């Protein structure tokens, strides 16, 4: 078992906070121990970051030179996909097939933002004034606080660190309590790639202590947060007091919709993947299913068959579909929701308990679960469970369907299964969500903006917006007549 150090302003050192550990959720074994950061560490990291981003050795780099560092990081990741995937699987229990995908997506994200910083241009607005020419440039914001959750560390961390650095900022990253390993590994890779000291610090520790101190620090000029909606709202209050921008990627309760002309097999497989991959611990999990009554029974039968065939087990083994949940505490919260669904009138069609297999007894496993018989207003249909639990509701009328699908505080994603593309597009337009998948689910492209409507978030990550979100625009007026200003213009 390893003892880890934190990465503070270019130095590997022991944190000055409490002891913490990373635990393999499949069997409770400890992967590594470390001392968390404390508030003094936060202050030191932010002060160093402020100095580092202003330093001419960083500020003076042309985009091509910043891009070169990101390309090196991407290469380093690509050379060790397997080791990194194992590390992330140990940290949060996701099956290797999924963590490999996340690692490769992090490499692609670094490469994309390397390219984006090279091609990002200022603006030359239409010239409307004969006495002055105007230009508009993008400049970095300064020190960025990046705060991340435990469910997809390497991907969500790279989605913040790469664009923020590409834009010329410095970053202080606070990973989730449960998953410090990947963020510290990323620090190592950026160091190897030649990122100057101070531009990236990684400070594991409690959100309420380290995250809070970081967000409140006067030199932090943006909070980039991915996590739960209530934490996001709290951070938005802090940002409002400081008048600084935020990017908030928050929770979801995403509807998937099966129209009467859907390809049943394609829909059933997509729905199964959309809710049960990552054991449902995904902000975009398709956790509320609306099925046209004409397809309801056959689709549900097929969905239960597919669900029964999913392999649940050690996430380090090949062929496993569902690993454990992040912790026993989280499993209890999922189990409590299933009990609540039953009190609300729901019928559990499959799952609804921990697996009986004694080999899985040490891990925080929970069987993939399908529940019917609830109304959309039930708490289990409205609240984010963040586990392998699907609620299924039939519908008859498209207008009622749209009202129910939109009847949620969340608006992160939605899925539509239908052979009628024009009808799907018309329906997609009416869904109040930041992403809509048609005849697919959880498909991603780094060049396509991602973010939520309503209480699922503010701002967008990915795409060129993803780098502009870490910059501010400055407009310049250049006199064309060299005359003193007159009072009347
Ligand atoms: P969380 O909100 O509990 O924690 C997220 C991060 O915030 C952690 O690093 C935590 O330590 C920190 N934090 C907690 N309190 C804080 C405070 N007072 N000040 C500053 N930081 C604080 O969320 P979680 O349980 O780690 O993650 C699950 C949630 O994340 C789910 O709601 C899920 O939907 C959401 N999520 C959203 C996206 C997205 O892109 N929209 C992606 C992944 C996860």
**Are 336 and 208 in the same domain?**
no
**Are 380 and 464 in the same domain?**
no
User: Cα torsion at 224, 440, 444, 454 (round to 10°)?
Assistant: -20
**Are 213 and 280 in the same domain?**
no
Checking if the pLDDT of 302 tops 60, the result is yes
**Are 135 and 160 in the same domain?**
yes
Q: Ligand 1, from 148, 224, 227, 278: best to mutate by most atoms within 8 Å of Cβ?
A: 227
Q: Is 285 within the bounds of a domain?
A: yes
- Report the chain's terminal Cα–Cα distance, integer Å: 71
φ/ψ region of 93 (left if φ > 0, alpha if ψ in -120 to 50, else beta) reads: left
**Are 391 and 312 in the same domain?**
yes
Summarize pLDDT for 134-183 with one digit per residue, the tens. 999 999 999 999 999 999 999 999 999 999 999 999 999 999 999 999 99
Question: Tokens 């065939």 belong to which residue?
Answer: 309
User: What does the pLDDT read at residue 182?
Assistant: 96
Summarize pLDDT for 41-86 with one digit per residue, the tens. 999 999 999 999 999 999 999 999 999 999 999 999 999 999 999 9
Q: Is 483 within the bounds of a domain?
A: no
**Are 224 and 266 in the same domain?**
no
**Are 364 and 419 in the same domain?**
yes
User: What does the pLDDT read at residue 489?
Assistant: 54
- What is the domain-level CATH number for residue 347? 3.40.309.10
φ/ψ region of 119 (left if φ > 0, alpha if ψ in -120 to 50, else beta) reads: alpha
Please give the residue range of the domain that contains residue 416.
Answer: 255-438
Question: What is the distance in A from the centroid of ligand 1 to the CA of 207?
Answer: 9
Percent of the chain residues past pLDDT 90, beyond the cut: 97
Distance of CA 345 to the CA centre of its chain: 33
**Are 170 and 31 in the same domain?**
yes
Summarize pLDDT for 458-476 with one digit per residue, the tens. 999 999 999 999 999 999 9
Count of domains observed in the chain: 2
Query: Ligand 1 site: residues with CB under 6 angstroms?
Result: 147-151, 156, 174, 176-177, 207-208, 211-212, 215, 226-228, 231, 234-235, 249-252, 283, 384, 386, 412, 452, 457
Q: Is 389 within the bounds of a domain?
A: yes
Name which of 387, 378, 379 is nearest 354 in CA terms: 387
Distance CA 241, CA 239 (A): 5
**Are 147 and 239 in the same domain?**
yes
User: What does the pLDDT read at residue 311?
Assistant: 98
**Are 213 and 266 in the same domain?**
no
**Are 245 and 338 in the same domain?**
no
**Are 29 and 79 in the same domain?**
yes
Q: Is 401 within the bounds of a domain?
A: yes
Catalytic choice (249, 372, 384, 461): 249
Question: What is the distance in A from the centroid of ligand 1 to the CA of 203?
Answer: 15
């Amino acid at each position: 078992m390893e003892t880890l150090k934190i990465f503070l302003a270019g130095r590997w050192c022991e944190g000055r906070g409490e002891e913490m550990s990373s635990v393999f959720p499949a069997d409770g074994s400890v992967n590594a121990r470390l001392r968390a950061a404390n508030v003094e560490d936060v202050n030191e990291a932010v002060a160093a970051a402020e100095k580092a981003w202003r330093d001419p050795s960083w500020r003076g780099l042309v985009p091509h030179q910043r891009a070169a560092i990101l390309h090196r990081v991407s290469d380093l990741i690509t050379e060790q996909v397997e080791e990194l995937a194992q590390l992330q699987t140990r940290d949060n229990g996701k099956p290797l097939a999924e963590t490999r995908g996340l690692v490769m997506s992090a490499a692609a994200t670094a490469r994309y933002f390397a390219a984006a910083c090279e091609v990002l241009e200022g603006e030359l607005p239409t010239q409307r004034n004969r006495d002055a020419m105007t230009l508009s440039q993008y400049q970095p914001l300064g020190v960025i606080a990046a705060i991340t959750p435990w469910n997809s560390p390497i991907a969500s961390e790279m989605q913040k660190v790469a664009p923020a650095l590409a834009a010329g900022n410095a970053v202080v990253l606070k990973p989730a309590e449960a998953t410090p390993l990947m963020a510290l590994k990323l620090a190592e890779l950026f160091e190897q790639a030649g990122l100057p000291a101070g531009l990236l610090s990684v400070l594991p520790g409690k959100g309420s202590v380290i995250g809070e101190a970081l967000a409140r620090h006067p030199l932090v000029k943006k909070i980039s947060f991915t996590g739960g909606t209530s934490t996001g709202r709290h951070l938005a209050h802090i940002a409002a007091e400081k008048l600084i921008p935020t990017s908030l990627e928050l929770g979801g309760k995403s509807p998937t919709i099966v129209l009467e002309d859907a390809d049943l097999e394609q829909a059933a497989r997509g729905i199964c993947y959309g809710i049960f991959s990552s054991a449902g611990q995904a902000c975009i999990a398709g956790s509320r299913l609306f099925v046209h009554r004409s397809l309801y029974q056959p689709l549900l039968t097929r969905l239960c068959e597919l669900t029964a065939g999913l392999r649940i087990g050690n996430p380090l083994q090949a062929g496993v579909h569902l690993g454990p949940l992040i912790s026993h505490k989280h499993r209890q919260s999922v189990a409590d929701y299933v009990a609540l669904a039953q009190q609300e009138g729901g019928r559990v069609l499959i799952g609804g308990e921990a697996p009986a297999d004694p080999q899985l007894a040490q891990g925080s496993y929970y069987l993939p679960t399908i529940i019917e018989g609830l109304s959309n207003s039930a708490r289990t249909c409205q609240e984010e469970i963040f586990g392998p639990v699907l609620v299924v509701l039939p519908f008859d009328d498209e207008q009622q369907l749209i009202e129910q699908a939109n009847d949620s505080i969340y608006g992160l994603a939605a899925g539509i299964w239908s052979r009628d593309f024009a009808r799907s597009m018309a329906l997609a337009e009416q869904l109040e969500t930041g992403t809509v998948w048609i005849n697919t689910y959880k498909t991603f492209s780094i060049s396509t903006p991602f973010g939520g409507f309503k209480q699922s978030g503010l701002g967008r990550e990915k795409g060129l917006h993803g780098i502009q979100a870490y910059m501010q625009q400055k407009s310049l007026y250049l006199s064309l007549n060299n005359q003193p200003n007159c009072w009347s213009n």
